Amino acid sequence: MEAENKNLLMEGAKTFGIHLDEKTAEAFDLYLKELLKWNQKINLTAIRTEKGIVLKHFLDSLSVFPYFSNISTLLDIGSGAGFPGIPLKMVEPSLEVTLIDSVRKKVDFQRHIIRRLGLKGIEAIHGRVQDKEILKGLEGRFDIVMSRAFSDLQTFLVLSFPLLRKVGIVLAMKGRVDRKEMRLLPTMEEARYRLQKTVPFSLPFSSLKRSILLFEKQ
């Protein structure tokens, strides 16, 4: 990783309350290099530059870290090349993380990078959360269910509900908040959720707009 991109990662992480030590920074460097290498043969991400990966994948993933108090189990739906679940595991090793994606090649990469980084307490599942066997295995297990991949917020809320523990959080990572989409939501899925917080922000050292939506299971 070029020095300026390493500095972007380190300083950007600080804006989310994360201090990256040298060992963790080296792990992110390995992740980046493996992603670029695999991406030459397999289309894992449209972002193909070091700076783009640091900013739009690594730092975007870490942006949710300030909202992780009292969280021990995390499900990342549609995790693609491992975002945001793997970066969050890297900075908070105590988290029990489950990744799920319907694309086999992406899950293969997730498992590869988990092995290369020596991460424990994290699993990558190939499939969909609505599949009966997968749902049965994951039901009621998670403090937080999150995704960067769902464009349909209502479907995400519906699918997440049975996966959460009795008191759980759904966290949706978005670009700009679509107010029309929010208005079209039923009354928080028939009062099963309460909108806890909407957080608009820009990614560090950029003008890229992002939003975090947190829904609390009732």
Helix-, strand-, coil-residue percentages of the chain, each rounded to 5: 45, 25, 35
pTM of the entire structure? Answer: 0.94
- Residue 145: what residue type? V
* Pair of tokens at residue 11: 């300083």
> For the chain, what is the mean pLDDT?
92
pLDDT of residue 186: 60
Bridge partners (DSSP) of residue 97 are: 74, 122
Residue 180 has pLDDT above 80, yes or no: no
191 pLDDT above the threshold of 70: no
- pLDDT of 207 over the 80 cut: yes
Q: Which amino acid is at 113?
A: I
Q: Flag whether pLDDT at 32 surpasses 60.
A: yes
Which residues face 6 on adjacent strands?
none
Q: Which pLDDT score is estimated for 193?
A: 86
CATH class of 64-217: alpha beta
| Residue ranges in 40-152 assigned as alpha helix (H) | 50-53, 60-62, 85-91, 104-117, 132-138
Using pLDDT thresholds of 50, 70 and 90, give the confidence band for residue 160: very high
- pLDDT-derived band of residue 150, with 50, 70 and 90 as boundaries? confident
